[in-house]
């Protein structure tokens, strides 16, 4: 829910800052999801007076204005608005200002040969409404030269998430009441206008569905004028809440809902026939709602109807054909209480969501019918004129206050915080709970206001006290460990393996569990000269040697899948490699292996024969899994010597320094595939978990965290001419190292050799992502970073392409 600070102060007398209000809202359970300052959008716009207006020499529909900005000499502005004239005051956007509606930056320019120093703005261009036929006309007393943000009272806007159990706070009034209870100001009750009305309401209003609609109140207002817009103050508050002003009548109902959490509806009386009734729908009845969609109803749904049919899906959305228009002169106001459960069921069946449904299905204040109708009537009469009739009250709302016996000592026992008994009483009073001490007892009898549907017993009152007193005052107490419950025993390596399993599965890999024993020939093929453990008395010759690598087992699994018709395999395994160490000791190496075979993407009309896995796919898996394991992937070096099992031109190792090999990856050598009787290409990855350095501080394994950047990234592309033999990774590493603080990513997106590129060279295009810190980059800062990038690339023999 959105609301402006100015709107909040209508209900709350406070001098608290925006930051203090946001902190208090979070503290009492209303999470602030964002704060917007509209004044930032209006920067560069100011109140100005048109001194002269003359016809443009080369355009019939343009005028040349002389505009007083309150500073220095008047400015010349070309304007096409039909209402622009000498003597009027409006809003001038100066060169450098950005128009909120379209993001256009205003500049000094020539329009049909005449210099223009900015733009006189319309309501729509400043996102203050929908009017765009002319420029904004300000009152005569508007101070020339004042910033428009200050003149317009562009108040900060809060975006607050209201939990489903607090429908009483789905209006600005409820938010103000909670903040006042938290000590952030004084709550200002609203004076309810007394409007007796002239004469009885000529339309019969009744409820034939007392379960779905226990209470239905209404009255008629004759002689309204809906052609004029709603007041500027109302439009300003509605726009702050994210509502588009529509018409004076509709805006009044929206204002009542957003200010007081009370939905209501206005019908064009001329479009109604006979009695207006809240009843059950008939199976198969239809209604065209205000969203211009037609809905089929059933007899479990409550509707508002007249003799001709349904006009309103009760509590959710009104009908299209009975809504108020500019030609409406007589209206019927409807304000009712609908059963929350019925509203929820109906909304889910129809798949129809609305602001009204959100409030009704959570439970509105059943006591607010008369007050809400009086406020709505007053808003309409003051805005549109007209004469109201007397009120018709059909049914009775369930507004009986509930009483709860409350023992203040519960706050300590359930909430874990000591709050003085009198302070608890004051908190409940400020929240609107009437409480009194029961004689000869420590208990208090608390009367719960009907608007608080969430209060059912003493524990809920404890929550209210603790919430307002301060949840941060509750001491953190660890839960006791019962005797016999084992302490955590997982080692850092075991925790790492669990995390890697989840990361690999999340990347679409299937976990395999293969034997730790291999045929001797296969083991020797992957031994790389190491001494193998060979069993003297194996179960079979195929399980004689302990595996020096996880890849052979995964290759056998991939082959079995292929022999049974599988198009491909994406397998991984976490296990141990076994070697004979010094003096015959066993040496076990924790390892993660990956094998990708067959089709990466199936053939189709857009990609022909499909695509096979290649060394780049293997590298992507290796880097992603190393990052999940907490390895510093930004510092990795790509080097050769992946092993004779891999294709020499399509494989590499990932290292931290020249000797510490963390992983090897690439396409397997044809001889390896032949040894395993596998057709087609296969790529593999092997990550050596024991080689990954432990996190400093003893944690061993990095815990993933995410903090979104405060400012938007900036992307710049560079194209370099580099020697053909230079690995692209070396160029990317040089680019990254140009400014480690500002550069957060760099990647190659194009490599080209051919016409236009000197022989022995290639063109490598690199995308660089820059992330600002506390403020956005200036052009000079971006140029300085770009110069560093070009200079670092030059050290690798790269030259920026012209």
Burial class (CB in 10 A: 0-12, 13-18, 19+), 741: exposed
Contact between residue 122 and residue 132 where contact means Cβ atoms under 8 Å apart: yes
Which DSSP letter does residue 70 get? S
Question: Per the annotation, does 130 bind a ligand?
Answer: no
Buried b / exposed e over 610-642, threshold 16 CB at 10 Å, is eebbebebbbebbbebbbbbbbebeebbbeeeb
Kindly calculate the radius of gyration of the chain based on its CA atoms and give it in whole angstroms.
37
Contact between residue 598 and residue 555 where contact means Cβ atoms under 8 Å apart: no
Question: Per the annotation, does 463 bind a ligand?
Answer: yes
Pairwise CA distance, residues 496 & 509, whole Å: 17
With a CB cutoff of 8 Å and minimum separation 6, the contacts of 329 are: 222, 223, 224, 225, 226, 270
Beta strands in 289-433 (DSSP E): 294-296, 302-306, 309-313, 317-318, 330-337, 387-388, 392-395, 402-406
Q: How many residues comprise the chain? A: 802
Contact between residue 90 and residue 50 where contact means Cβ atoms under 8 Å apart: yes
3-state SS of 116-158? ECCEECECCCCCCCCCCCCECCECCCCCCCCEHHHHCCCCCEE
First to last CA, the chain: 52
* For helices 248-260 and 369-384, angle between their N-to-C axes, nearest 10 degrees: 140
Pairwise CA distance, residues 479 & 329, whole Å: 67
Question: Per the annotation, does 454 bind a ligand?
Answer: yes
Q: For the beta carbon of residue 381, count every other beta carbon within 10 angstroms.
A: 18
772 SS3 class:
coil
List the one residue out of 537, 171, 221 whose CA is nearest residue 368: 171
Pairwise CA distance, residues 163 & 363, whole Å: 13
Question: Per the annotation, does 542 bind a ligand?
Answer: no
678 SS3 class:
coil
Pairwise CA distance, residues 245 & 234, whole Å: 9
Pairwise CA distance, residues 375 & 368, whole Å: 10
List the one residue out of 697, 705, 784, 704 whose CA is nearest residue 743: 784
Beta strands in 568-645 (DSSP E): 568-580, 586-601, 611-612, 637-639
Alpha-carbon distances, residue 264 vs 232, 315, 369, 724 (angstroms): 21, 8, 10, 73
Pairwise CA distance, residues 381 & 256, whole Å: 14
Buried b / exposed e over 533-569, threshold 16 CB at 10 Å, is beeeeeeeeeebbbbbbbbbbbbbbbbebbeeeeebb
Residues making up the annotated binding site are 454, 460, 463-464
Residues making up the annotated binding site for Mg(2+) are 454, 460, 463-464
């Amino acid at each position: 829910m959105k609301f402006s600070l100015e709107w909040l102060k209508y209900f709350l007398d406070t001098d608290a800052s925006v930051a203090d209000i946001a902190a208090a809202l979070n503290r009492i359970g209303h999470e602030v999801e964002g704060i917007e300052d509209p004044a930032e959008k209006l920067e560069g716009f100011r109140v100005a007076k048109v001194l002269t207006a003359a016809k443009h020499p080369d355009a019939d529909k343009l005028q040349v204005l002389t505009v007083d900005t309150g500073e220095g000499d008047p400015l010349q502005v070309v304007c096409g608005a039909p209402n622009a004239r000498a003597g009027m005051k409006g809003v001038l956007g100066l060169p450098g200002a950005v128009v909120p509606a379209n993001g256009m930056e205003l500049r000094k320019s020539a329009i049909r040969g005449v210099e223009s120093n900015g733009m006189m703005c319309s309501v729509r261009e400043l996102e203050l409404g929908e009017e765009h036929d002319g420029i904004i006309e300000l009152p005569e007393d508007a101070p020339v030269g004042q910033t428009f943000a200050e003149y317009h009272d562009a108040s900060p806007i809060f975006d607050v998430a209201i939990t489903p159990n607090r429908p009483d706070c789905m209006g600005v009034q409820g938010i103000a009441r909670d903040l006042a209870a938290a000590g952030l100001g004084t709550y200002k009750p609203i004076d309810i206008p007394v409007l007796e009305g002239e004469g009885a309401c000529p339309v019969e209003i009744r409820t034939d569905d007392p379960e779905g609609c226990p209470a239905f109140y209404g009255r008629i207002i004759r002689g309204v004028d809906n052609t004029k817009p709603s007041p500027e103050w109302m439009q300003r508050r509605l726009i702050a809440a994210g509502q588009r002003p529509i018409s004076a009548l509709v805006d009044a109902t929206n204002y009542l809902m957003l200010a007081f959490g009370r939905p209501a509806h206005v019908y064009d009386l001329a479009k109604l026939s006979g009695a207006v009734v809240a009843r059950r729908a008939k199976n198969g009845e239809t209604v065209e709602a205000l969203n211009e969609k037609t809905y089929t109803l059933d007899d479990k749904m409550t509707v508002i109807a007249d003799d001709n049919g349904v006009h309103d899906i009760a509590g959710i959305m009104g009908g299209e054909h009975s809504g108020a228009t500019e030609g409406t002169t007589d209206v019927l106001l409807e304000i009712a209480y609908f059963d929350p459960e019925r509203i929820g069921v109906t909304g889910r069946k129809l798949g129809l969501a609305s602001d009204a449904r959100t409030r009704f299905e959570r439970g509105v204040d059943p006591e607010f019918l008369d007050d809400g109708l009086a406020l709505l009537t007053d808003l309409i009469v003051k805005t549109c004129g007209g004469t109201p009739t007397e009120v018709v009250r059909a049914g009775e709302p369930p507004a009986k206050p509930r009483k709860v016996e409350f023992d203040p000592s519960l706050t300590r026992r359930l909430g874990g915080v000591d709050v003085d008994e009198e302070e608890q009483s004051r908190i409940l009073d400020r929240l609107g709970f009437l409480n009194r001490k029961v004689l000869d007892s420590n208990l208090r009898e608390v009367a719960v206001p009907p608007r608080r549907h969430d209060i059912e017993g003493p524990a809920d009152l404890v929550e209210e006290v603790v919430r307002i007193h301060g949840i941060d005052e509750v001491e953190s107490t660890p839960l006791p460990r019962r005797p016999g419950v084992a302490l955590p025993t997982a080692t850092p390596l075991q925790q790492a393996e669990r995390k890697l399993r989840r990361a690999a599965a999340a990347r679409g890999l299937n976990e395999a569990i293969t034997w730790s024993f291999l045929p001797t020939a296969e083991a020797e093929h992957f031994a790389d000269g190491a001494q193998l453990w060979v069993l003297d008395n194996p179960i079979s010759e195929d399980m004689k040697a302990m595996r020096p690598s996880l890849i052979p087992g995964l290759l056998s699994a991939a082959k079995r899948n292929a022999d049974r018709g599988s198009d491909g395999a994406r397998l991984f395994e976490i296990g141990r490699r076994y070697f004979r160490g010094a003096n015959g000791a066993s040496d076990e190496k924790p390892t993660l292996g990956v094998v990708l075979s067959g089709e990466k993407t199936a053939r189709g009309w857009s990609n022909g024969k499909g695509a096979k896995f290649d060394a780049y796919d293997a590298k992507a898996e290796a880097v992603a899994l190393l990052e999940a394991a907490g390895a510093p992937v930004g510092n990795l070096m790509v080097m050769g010597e992946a092993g004779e099992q891999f294709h020499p031109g399509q494989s590499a190792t990932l290292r931290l320094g020249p000797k510490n090999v963390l992983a090897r990856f690439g396409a397997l050598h044809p001889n390896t595939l032949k040894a395993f009787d596998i057709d087609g290409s296969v790529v593999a990855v092997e990550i050596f978990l024991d080689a990954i350095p432990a996190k400093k501080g003893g944690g061993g394994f990095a815990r993933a965290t995410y903090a979104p950047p405060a400012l938007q990234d900036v992307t710049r592309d560079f194209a370099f001419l580099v020697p053909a033999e230079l690995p692209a990774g070396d160029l990317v590493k040089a680019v990254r190292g140009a400014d480690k603080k500002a550069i957060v990513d760099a990647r190659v997106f194009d490599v080209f050799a051919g016409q236009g590129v000197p022989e022995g060279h290639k063109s490598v295009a690199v995308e660089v992502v820059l992330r600002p810190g506390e403020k956005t980059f200036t052009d000079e800062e971006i140029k300085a970073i770009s110069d560093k990038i070009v200079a670092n690339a030059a050290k690798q023999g790269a030259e920026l392409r012209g």
